[in-house]
Structure 1
Amino acid sequence: MIHRHDHNQQIVGISTKCPAWNWTIRHNIIQGAGTGIYLGNSDGSAPFIAGLIEYNLITQTLGYNLQIKHQQPRPNLAGMPAGDQVTTIRHNVFSKADPPRNPSSPRPNVLLGHWPLTGRGANDRYLVYSNFFYQNPQESLFQGEGRIALYNNLFVNHMGGAIRFQPHHDKPREIAIFFNTVVAKNTGIYHAGHNDPSLPIPWIANNAVFANRPLVKLFPEWELDFSGHSDDSRFGAYAYDYSPGWLPILSIKSCRADNIRNRHLCFAH
């Protein structure tokens, strides 16, 4: 547990400053940090590759709950994965519900930068699913660019927007947004391609705020809802005719084994 590590926004709970791969960041509680988790370097020179970030609770940060920096062309290092890789962010709770202590520097709860534009890593992808994004009085809950699949998440922001895909250091490239439940005061889902026809067309389907057709079976656990129930005909993050399972609270999501499917399902303690 990391508590009140927040003298200023540059003080970080968990950070990398060199190339890192195959990390697992799991079951951490960060309550009050300048930035909760900061992976990579500001100039894109320290790539974070093939990571797993799951079952963490991050609240009360001055800046980001989680930021993974954009990546420049990767160095050729011994042991670094060479093929296409996936970084997975799942079953986390990200909250900026408290009044801002740094109002001049608003930040989203989570920001994901782009992958390398050429060479190793150019086809890597973020899979972001079954997370609870809660409140941000100044910014959207999630912002991303590059190659990202965002699905089965719950977004609640009574003070602003929820999901934004827009240029930061590059632009949104291959984006899939589906089976999310969004409750937001302002914009629910924004993609900059609406104003810039040169950007690739995203796949936006079966979210609570949009009513498109179901997406084909492309991503792991796409057919499981926020609580782990299977239903591929739903809209939003929850399946029909099931109890909600894990109730959205500011604590680490719990889970139990599903021996039939060899999966973990999340429920309340």
Structure 2
Amino acid sequence: MLSMAIGDRIRDFRMAKEPKLTQEQLAESIGIKRSRLAQYEAGRTEPPLTILKMIALALDTTLPELEDEGVPVPRKTKAVQDAPMPNVPQETVDMPYAGLVPADSNWGDPLGTGEELPVDIKFKGENRFVCKVVGDSCYPYLKQGDIAIFEVDPGPSVGTIILAERLGDRACTVKLLEWDAEAGRSRLKPLNEAYEPPSSSPGWQATAKLIGLEFKHEGVKMTAIEPGGFRSRQLAWRGFDI
């Protein structure tokens, strides 16, 4: 029965987290009651697709991997040093904090918010600011809770991950800047393929490129930096268990 199989997978992925996630912790992270999660894991109720996606995101995996019994559950004993970028932050520097990304409206001046956030000192540089990632629109390259470091650049290179601001209401989005050969111009491509491209009206303006990332792997804070601007392939490994 599908509900029993997916329930077992949810439980196994949850138990494989280090430190181990309780039912209550996982349920709280996706906004449901513990009793409801317990029903999913026991196979008494089959979770809807929207909930499954949220569970997969909370467990640092993908929906296909969560559903596929042929994909092994990650082991707790995997060494953190096997991660592609095992840089553990030591010294910090305060950097302008622009807020959450993506943002629906009123993005404002990211360098002039008056707020600051400490990040690894390696990210220190001119015209750089910090954002916190929310939601799954950038998955798997950026995940909820990640600290993203951007550098102001109104003309970033095609192929890089950028922050763009919508004309008019100043909403902001994080997308891949790609070249549209047919139209003869650049366009914004969603990082998460489950999302539709943003509307071209009233238009978007590139404001910054992604140059740094702070995230947690198995409870350890890690960093990644690319001064020229990250390309999606450089972060594609985050879609796999490492």
TM over 0.5, yes or no? no
TM-score by length of 2: 0.25
TM-score by length of 1: 0.23
| Higher share in strand | 1
| Higher share in helix | 2
Computing the radius of gyration from Cα coordinates, the structure with the larger value is 2
Q: Which has the higher contact order (CA 8 A, sep 6+)?
A: 2
